[in-house]
Amino acid sequence: MSRIALATALLAFAVATAYLTLRSPARIVLDGAGLLSDDETAYLSVYHGYLLEDHGIDYRVVTTVDEHAILDQAVSLFESLGVGSRGDNGGGLLLLINPATDQVRLEVGFSLEGLFPDAFVAYIESRQM
């Protein structure tokens, strides 16, 4: 095999691996608090995979028992996890659940703020969760 063919094959493999890693449903749910069963995690991963595929919404769920302020932690996780980067329009949602502090936070990406205004998100956080 020539060097060019080998380099092309390696590049194609790297691109395919990167694509599958970014689209991997297993990374949609990060259950640091151990709240979810394997079946629940799998269900959420599949469901959120459909949201991404059908609507371009990169929706992640993170559970934690960290004692940091949930607002700061949600913003930091939103950025560090690249929430919204998997969708076509940059639409991202991050649901952060902290059972240790009995708090939840729904962080909304810029392109979804029209669909999820602050008042609606505050209502969902305080009344529905």
The tens digit of pLDDT for each residue in 74-128 reads: 999 999 999 999 887 889 999 999 999 999 999 999 999 999 999 999 999 998 8
- Could you give the CA distance from residue 47 to residue 82 in angstroms, rounded to a whole number? 19
Tokens coding 77: 């996780």
Average pLDDT of the chain is 84
The answer to whether the beta carbons of residues 26 and 45 sit under 8 Å apart is yes
Strands 57-63 and 103-108 turn out to be unpaired
The answer to whether the beta carbons of residues 100 and 69 sit under 8 Å apart is no
